[in-house]
Amino acid sequence: MACTRGVELHVGMVQAARAAIAGVAVKTPLIASRCLEGTARQPVFLKLETLQPIGAFKLRGAANALACLDAEQRARGVVCCSTGNHGRGVAYAARRLGVKATVCLSNLVPEVKVRAIEALGATVVRVGRSQDEAQTEADRLVREQGLAEVAPFDHPAVIAGQGTIALEILEDRPDLETILVPLSGGGLIGGIALAAKALKPSIHIIGISMARGAAMQASLVAGHPVEVAELPTLADSLGGGIGLRNRWTFDLCRSLVDEVVLLEEAEIYRGMRMLLLEERLVVEGAGAVGHAAILAGKARLDGPAAIIVSGQNAPMEQVLAIGRGEPVTLGGLEVKG
């Protein structure tokens, strides 16, 4: 069942999630990359989660989690913290169900994401300079107002929702050998790895994070969840920790992710630029890490591969500057290709 709590996660929950989110999230296209085959020496396909109604995959998990709430929880409303896209997914799914949503965001979240959440009718609370501070505020609202929390990644229904991507891509291309997945809290890669390995145990799952603040990788190395400093990055949707009391995604990543690649900001810049100029796709930094990893020679492929192009919600000035080859400034740090 998509809504079961306190049980081991399994592929049946992902299959149930697929039915639960149909009509809210869309089945996105998987298209051949125009420009990576030469570099990768393998066919590479792009899963365009940029084409979800909110411009990112997060709608899948949010829609599934909202579908799992009971009538009383829906009447009281939901709260979440977010780097932007999860909040937008929760706001979108909540509005369709007539549920009140409150989204806690740190001041690192780009304005474009904040405005999009407000435009969906959610209440935005801005607090502090890290995901941890946004989480603390969400915890307070759960305690004081009895809101139901929809956690951004460490939540079984959210993980199951994100896992529906794997069902779709293996249906379209059963011959895939590798899936490259942007990695932050691990809800996306956890759900994908769970479903993909259940259907095809030999598949290779590669997680990709920015070197500046790669919380899951630091935790995997330490053998337990650890805190890392959250820094401005082009991949702002990958910011934040995994939670010191992580329940689900750390174990999923430890047992199912085969490899983690870390990228410098200039490499992410070049991935975004290639997507824009050669694939002709607007993609935010977090969604460009698959291209960036292949371009940087950091992900070697043994057969046909799919990249999860996870979102498009970058500030437009940033996308245009990168397209023109100009440096971009992130909280005092200058990045160029």
Ligand X SMILES: *Cc1c(COP(=O)(O)O)cnc(C)c1O
For residue 6, the minimal CB distance to ligand X (Å) is 21
**184 in contact with ligand X (CB under 6 A):** yes
* Residue 45 structure tokens: 């396909």
135 binding ligand X? (CB under 6 A): no
Tokens, residue 304:
């046909």
Task: Indicate the residue among 74 and 211 with the shorter CB distance to ligand X.
Answer: 211
Cα separation, 290 vs 206, in Å, equals 9
Amino acid found at 48:
L
Stretch 229-248 residues interacting with ligand X (CB under 6 A):
237-238
Pick 146 or 274: Cβ nearer ligand X: 274
Binding segment for ligand X (CB under 6 A), chosen from 2-10, 114-122, 176-184, 323-331, is 176-184
CB-nearer residue toward ligand X: 225 or 287 = 287
Contact present, 228 and 218 (Cβ < 8 Å): yes
Tell me if 185 contacts ligand X by CB under 6 A.
yes
- Applying CB under 6 A, which part among 64-72, 172-180, 186-194, 325-333 lies near ligand X? 186-194
The residue among 166, 199, 183, 175 whose CA lies nearest residue 43 is 175
Please tell me whether residue 102 adopts helix, strand or coil conformation.
strand
Element of type H or E holding 254:
helix 249-256
Q: What is the amino acid identity at position 184? A: S
Q: Which of residues 72-111 bind ligand X (CB under 6 A)?
A: 85
Q: Is 310 in the site for ligand X (CB under 6 A)?
A: yes
**Which single residue brings its beta carbon nearest to ligand X?**
311
Residues near ligand X (CB under 6 A), total? 19
Q: Please name the amino acid found at residue 135.
A: Q
Distances (CA, A) of 332 to 77, 128, 230: 38, 18, 14
Determine, following the binding rule CB under 6 A, whether residue 155 of this chain makes contact with ligand X: no
- Burial of 262-292, coded b for 16+ CB within 10 Å and e otherwise, reads bbebebbbbbbbbbbeebebbbbbbbbbbbb
Q: How far is the CB of 67 from ligand X (least distance, A)?
A: 18
For ligand X, give the closer residue by CB, 2 or 257.
257
Strand pairing partners for 178? Answer: 204, 305
Per CB under 6 A, the segment of 1-9, 177-185, 318-326, 329-337 that binds ligand X is: 177-185
Distance separating the N- and C-terminal Cα atoms of the chain: 46
Report the site for ligand X in 21-60 (rule: CB under 6 A): 56, 58
Residue 38 C-beta: closest distance to ligand X, Å: 26
Q: Which is nearer to ligand X, 101 or 189 (CB)?
A: 189
At 95, list the tokens: 């509005």
Using the rule CB under 6 A, which residue among 48, 90, 286, 322 binds ligand X?
286
Structure-token pair, residue 14: 């992902």
Considering only residues 14, 24, 52, 153, which one is a binding residue for ligand X as defined by CB under 6 A?
153
Q: Which two tokens stand for residue 39?
A: 């570099």
Query: Which residue, 69 or 188, has its beta carbon nearer to ligand X?
Result: 188
Q: How many CA atoms lie within 13 A of 11 on its CB side?
A: 13
Q: Decide: 260 and 193 in contact? Cβ < 8 Å.
A: no
Residue with smaller CB distance to ligand X, 322 or 332: 322
- Backbone φ/ψ region at 273: left (φ over 0), alpha (ψ -120 to 50), beta: alpha
Among 119-127, 226-234, 281-289, 291-299, which window interacts with ligand X (CB under 6 A)? 281-289
Using CB under 6 A, which of 182, 243, 271, 290 touches ligand X? 182
Smallest gap from Cβ 292 to ligand X, in A, equals 13
Instruction: Please give the C-alpha separations between residue 243 and each of 151, 225, 226, 310, in angstroms, as whole numbers.
Output: 11, 7, 8, 22
Q: Which residues bind ligand X (CB under 6 A)?
A: 56, 58, 85, 153, 182-189, 237-238, 284, 286-287, 310-311
